[in-house]
Amino acid sequence: MMHYAAGFHDHLIKNGETTARKGLPPVFPMVLYNGSKPWAARQDVFDMIAPRPPGLLQPYQPHLRYYLVDEGRYSDEDLAERNSVLSGIFGIEKAREGREALQKAVDRIVAIIQADPDKDRIDRIVTRWIKRHFERLGAKVDLTELNSLVEDRNMLADNLENWAKRERQEGRREGRQEGEVKGEAKLLKTMIVSKYGECPEWVQEKLNEADSEQLGAWGQKIFQASTLEGLLL
């Protein structure tokens, strides 16, 4: 932040926007944080200086403090009390509990935009932002035709619903595949115990990590392998 502020002032001086005699404009450093972990960084560069300088040197050390906006510190109730576009954006970024929560957050920001006197401009800005947001999420939704969050919210709702359906189908398919692999591993373990009289821990670990193709190969090989090492190594 200190680098950004100094760079901004340097840019103004180099481009003749101001001079040392005219003075430098004030800067309001702000950090907007939306990470999942609480923000823990120091908020004044002076606090990063170590070891702490003695009293004689302290007045000559750099100070720059930034204003922190940590989205994670705002509860849903806090955001509901703030009827602003920014609170609506926070609500969308915090909606990680599924498609329903995301749709609710989208509906809320649409209502906020509609009540704004400059709604057309705000709608364009938020629409561009939400398309980029879904790209960052890796959402499998087609938003190429989304030009207005207010006018096209039904199209967005349909896309969100289709996305949720695909995720549920993929989840069920992955669940079935996982169940089949576990069944194959259990059957192979029974065969191992029957032939070799034991299933050591290292063997169980290999069975747990193997995929269906590997388990099938071992199942065919078990009839020729005389030892567990010959089978699995």
Lowest mean pLDDT segment, chosen from 14-23, 159-168, 176-185: 159-168
Residues 102 and 141 in one domain: yes
- If one compares 73 and 101, the residue with the highest pLDDT of the two is 73
**pLDDT tens-place string over residues 48-82:** 999 999 999 999 999 999 999 998 888 888 888 88
Q: Which of the given ranges, 27-36, 56-65, 144-153, has the highest pLDDT on average?
A: 56-65
Number of domains the chain contains: 3
Residues 39 and 86 in one domain: no
Domain that holds residue 195: 181-232
Strands 30-33 and 67-70: parallel
Residue position matching structure tokens 């359906």? 165
Confidence band, pLDDT 50/70/90 cuts, at residue 136: confident
- If one compares 167 and 60, the residue with the highest pLDDT of the two is 60
Nearest-angstrom CA–CA distance, 152 and 194: 63
Is 162 part of a structural domain of the chain?
Answer: no
Nearest-angstrom CA–CA distance, 174 and 180: 10
User: What tokens were used for 79?
Assistant: 């955001």
Nearest-angstrom CA–CA distance, 125 and 84: 14
Going by C-alpha positions, the residue among 155, 83, 97, 88 that lies closest to residue 125 is 88
Read off the pTM.
0.54
Residues 132 and 200 in one domain: no
